[in-house]
Amino acid sequence: MTNKKVVLIRHGQSVWNELNQFTGWHDVELTKKGKNEAKLAALLLKKNNFYFDYAYTSVLKRAIHTLHYILDELNQSWLSVKKTWRLNERHYGALEGLNKNQVVEKYGEQQVMLWRRSFNISPPPINMNDKRFPGYDRRYSQLDFNKIPLGESLETTGIRVIPYWNKIIYPELKKNKKIIIVAHGNSLRALIQYLNKIDNQEIIELNIPTAKPIILEFNEKYMPIKWYYLK
């Protein structure tokens, strides 16, 4: 019996990736390179005979557009897509929009690495009166205003990602549905850590590149057994 597979993809390069800015929940476009990365990912999936029954993504257009390019190349633009804020990138709080090098100059490399890579340390919180606060964005109008993140660690990102996997995505996998998830570096890190039981120290070292298909494999009992980059 062949193993079950789920495809994970981080979005292609965004404008703020290129500018070396903290992006988080801010909605930015793909660069030309990012669009090409998405198309190359699709060609790799096509070469390996992947097709899908369900697609999941965040509510941020760099992930949504990456998925569109992939489905178009696979001739599956018709596929139903479920979008959820629970697959968003981690919220970088007051750092959103700031240049990473300038933040290092201000706070020091050690502190910035703690904010970026530690498991449970959140960046400085954003003020609710700040125009960057997501509570004023219509796409989050269904959320409790006071529960919208002011800044997240990898741990708190996982607290919203993992239940969505368990309640929404995993049941479809258990029905033998073929699934693709296009999301973000930290939402995918949180999911990979959970499924593969990676410890909190080891996950800090995992850096997910843009638009490189990741394969999660599950055995006949739908238990995760390994993950790897598609070649």
Catalytic residue positions? 11, 89
**Over the range 117-134, which residues count as b (16 or more CB within 10 Å of their CB) and which as e?**
ebbeebbeebeeeeebbb
Cα–Cα distance list, 86 to 36, 44, 54, 125 (Å): 26, 27, 17, 19
Query: Quick one: which of 70, 40, 43 has its CA closest to 57?
Result: 70
Q: What is the DSSP letter of 9?
A: E
- Amino acid (one-letter) located at 218: F
Q: For residue 30, give the H/E element and its range.
A: none
What does the alpha-carbon distance between residue 180 and residue 54 come to, in Å, rounded to a whole number? Answer: 7
